[in-house]
Amino acid sequence: MEKIPVTPSSKAPFAPGALVIATLCNPREKFWGMILVLAPEGLSLSGAELASFEDLAVMVRDGEPFTPAVVFFPMHRIERVELDLADGTLPSLSQRFFSKTGLEPSVALAPRADSIPIPSKEPA
C-alpha cells in the first residue's frame, strides 16, 4: 500500500490534515496535533498535550491502546499556531514520533469514529 504524506499546501498551510503545535493561553499550554478544522470560532485538533509527547510515543511504540484527544480551542485561547516543521538539524515532532514509533503521525492522529461525539437526534 502506497503512503501518501499529508502535507499542507503552500497556499493553505493550515488546512485540515496539517500537523501543528498550538500555543494556548489562560492557562498556558501547548498542544501537538493534526488540524481538523480552523475557523473564526476556533481550532479543532486531534492530538495530545505537548507535555505528554514522550509518554505518548512510548505508549504507541509499546503497542498500548491509544486514542488521540479530539479537542476544540476557542480563538481567544489561541496565542500561536505553527507548522510542525524541522528546524535546521532539529527534527520536527512528527519526525521524532515516526522515528520512535515507526507510525506516521497522520495515521496515529486520525480521529477514530468512536472518539468524536455525535449529537443525539432524540428529543431531550
Question: What is the pLDDT, as a whole number, of residue 73?
Answer: 96
Burial 35-57 (b: 16+ CB within 10 A, else e): bbebeeebbbbbbbbbeebeebb
16-57 residue pLDDT tens? 999 999 999 999 999 999 999 999 999 999 999 999 999 999
> pLDDT tier at 1 (50, 70, 90 boundaries)?
very low
Where do the domains of the chain lie, and which CATH numbers do they carry? 19-109 (2.30.30)
Q: Does the reported pTM lie above 0.85?
A: no
76-107 residue pLDDT tens? 999 999 999 999 999 999 999 999 999 999 99
